[in-house]
């Protein structure tokens, strides 16, 4: 049972976000920019970074839903998502993404673990400054989302089919769109 009274019908972060729509808006806006907005890293690659960090933080809900969203972006390749979590060095992803996953995993432990060499390795394989920035921030942000979801003891169903269906929907419609039911109305533009 969650530590506070969250809406029962909403699992994971959705329960927490509908409990507090004011903070849900920037939380949704941030994940939308980081994982979905146009970027030289594909949505699938960015979702893999989010999934990997959530896996390292042992957050069941986040690694399952972002793993499902990643798979939906990657032609349903759930095997690739599993491969990245198990040992990304042997997974069928680009060498550049491997160097970014190393940076992400260091950030997961603590930002100060990232070395100049880690960054140089990513650059040598073609990573841009924005890609390095976004990798650091995706990893940092999931250290927040994971703690938020686990720290409130949200409901985290063990139901792969649920995550798979929701993953397809989020990959198609985006984070802000699927959360509209509980987000506060858009501020009116002047």
Residues that bind another protein (CB under 8 A): 3-5, 16, 19-20, 22-23, 25-27, 29-30, 33-34, 37, 57-59, 103, 106-108, 110-112, 114, 116, 119, 129-130, 132-134, 136-137, 139-141, 143-153
CB 130, min distance to another protein, A: 7
Q: Using the minimum distance from each CB to another protein, give the nearer residue, 91 or 139.
A: 139
How many other CB atoms sit within 10 Å of the CB of residue 116? Answer: 7
Q: Using the minimum distance from each CB to another protein, give the nearer residue, 32 or 77.
A: 32
Q: Using the minimum distance from each CB to another protein, give the nearer residue, 34 or 68.
A: 34
CB 52, min distance to another protein, A: 15
Nearest to 106 by CA among 144, 56, 40: 56
Nearest to 54 by CA among 143, 130, 136: 143
CB 134, min distance to another protein, A: 8
- Tokens representing residue 42 in the block: 């594909």
Helices and strands (DSSP H and E) totals, the chain: 10, 0
CB 129, min distance to another protein, A: 4
CB 178, min distance to another protein, A: 17
Q: Using the minimum distance from each CB to another protein, give the nearer residue, 69 or 136.
A: 136
Q: Which long-range contacts (CB under 8 A, 24 or more apart) does 172-180 make?
A: 172/72, 174/32, 174/36, 175/28, 175/31, 175/32, 175/35, 175/36, 176/28, 176/29, 176/32, 179/14, 179/17, 179/24, 179/28
Rounded to whole angstroms, the Cα distance separating 176 from 5 reads 23
Q: Using the minimum distance from each CB to another protein, give the nearer residue, 116 or 181.
A: 116
């Amino acid at each position: 049972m969650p530590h506070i009274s969250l809406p029962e019908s909403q699992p994971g972060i959705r329960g927490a976000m509908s409990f507090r729509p004011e903070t849900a808006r920037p939380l949704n806006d941030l994940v939308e920019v980081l994982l979905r907005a146009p970027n030289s890293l594909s949505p699938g690659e960015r979702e893999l970074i989010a999934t990997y960090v959530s896996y390292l933080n042992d957050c069941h809900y986040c690694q399952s839903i972002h793993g499902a969203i990643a798979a939906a972006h990657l032609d349903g390749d759930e095997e690739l998502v599993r491969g990245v979590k198990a040992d990304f060095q042997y997974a069928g992803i680009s060498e550049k993404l491997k160097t970014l996953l190393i940076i992400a995993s260091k950030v997961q432990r603590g930002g100060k673990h990232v070395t100049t060499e880690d960054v140089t390795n990513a650059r040598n394989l073609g990573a841009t400054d924005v890609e390095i920035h976004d990798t650091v921030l995706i990893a940092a942000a999931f250290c927040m989302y994971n703690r938020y979801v686990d720290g409130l003891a949200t409901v985290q169903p063990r139901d792969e089919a649920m995550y798979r269906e929701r993953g397809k929907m989020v990959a198609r419609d985006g984070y802000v769109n699927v959360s509209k039911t509980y987000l506060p109305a858009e501020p009116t533009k002047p």
